[in-house]
Every structure is written in structure tokens, then in C-alpha cells.
Amino acid sequence: MKLRTYLTRCVAIIVFAGVSHETAIASLVVQRQNVTKVYVRNDCREVVDLTLEYRPVGETRFRTTKYVFSPGENGYLVNTDNLYIYITAKSRDSAKEWRRKQVNVGEDPGKHTHRLTCS
């Protein structure tokens, strides 16, 4: 009986330690100090197709995502803990193009809004 009780307690400690470890890692990810929420505001009177290259939080490789923004639309894109994102865009009506631009979003982590203007 004593051996069974001992083994049960050992298993309980191991399971608890595993859960605590995962919880600690999850809380570290949430509490990262250098995460920036990236937004884009379309200040053009045209629909804009946007391509975003960014590095997701905690990852080492860049990811590419495409978006469509209506005139005047302000939208949340991604979270990143990298210093830079890259934006390329093109309007659908006047063929205005924004060449691939490196945008520094990490100098003041928290929130960064990039504006697209047609002027």
C-alpha cells in the first residue's frame, strides 16, 4: 500500500510540474515587452491591395500576407516583435504603387499605424 501511495504522489507531482512549466512559458510569451501591434490606414480615395512581410512573434522566418483596404479604412494586421516590417501596395483605380518599403515599427513597441496616402 505504501508503494502505491508513493507512486501516485510522484505521478501527481510530475503532472503538476508539467502544467506549471507550460503555464510559465505561456505567461512569458504574453508578457513580452517588445511586441508591436501593426495597423494600416488607407488615406487614399481608392481601394488598395497591400502585401505585408513580417516576422511573427517568437519566430525567425518572415511571413507574407496580403490584404485589401477600402478608402479610409484603418485595420489591424499583425503582431510582431521584430524591428522592421516590409510593405508593398498598389491602388486598384489609378495604378498608384508603393514600392517595397522597410518600416521601422520597433522603436516604440506597442502600436504602430502605417498610413498610405495617394498625394
> Average pLDDT for residues 73-89, to the nearest whole number?
95
The pLDDT confidence band at residue 106, using thresholds 50, 70 and 90, is confident
Q: What is the DSSP letter of 107?
A: S
Q: Is the dihedral of CA 49, 116, 47, 82 positive or negative?
A: positive
The pLDDT confidence band at residue 27, using thresholds 50, 70 and 90, is very low
Rounded CA separation 69/13 (Å): 52
Chain centroid to CA 42: 19
Q: Return the pLDDT at 93.
A: 87
Q: Is the dihedral of CA 28, 33, 35, 39 positive or negative?
A: positive
Per-residue pLDDT tens over the stretch 39-77: 999 999 999 999 999 999 999 999 999 999 999 999 999
- What are the helix (H) ranges across the chain? 2-30
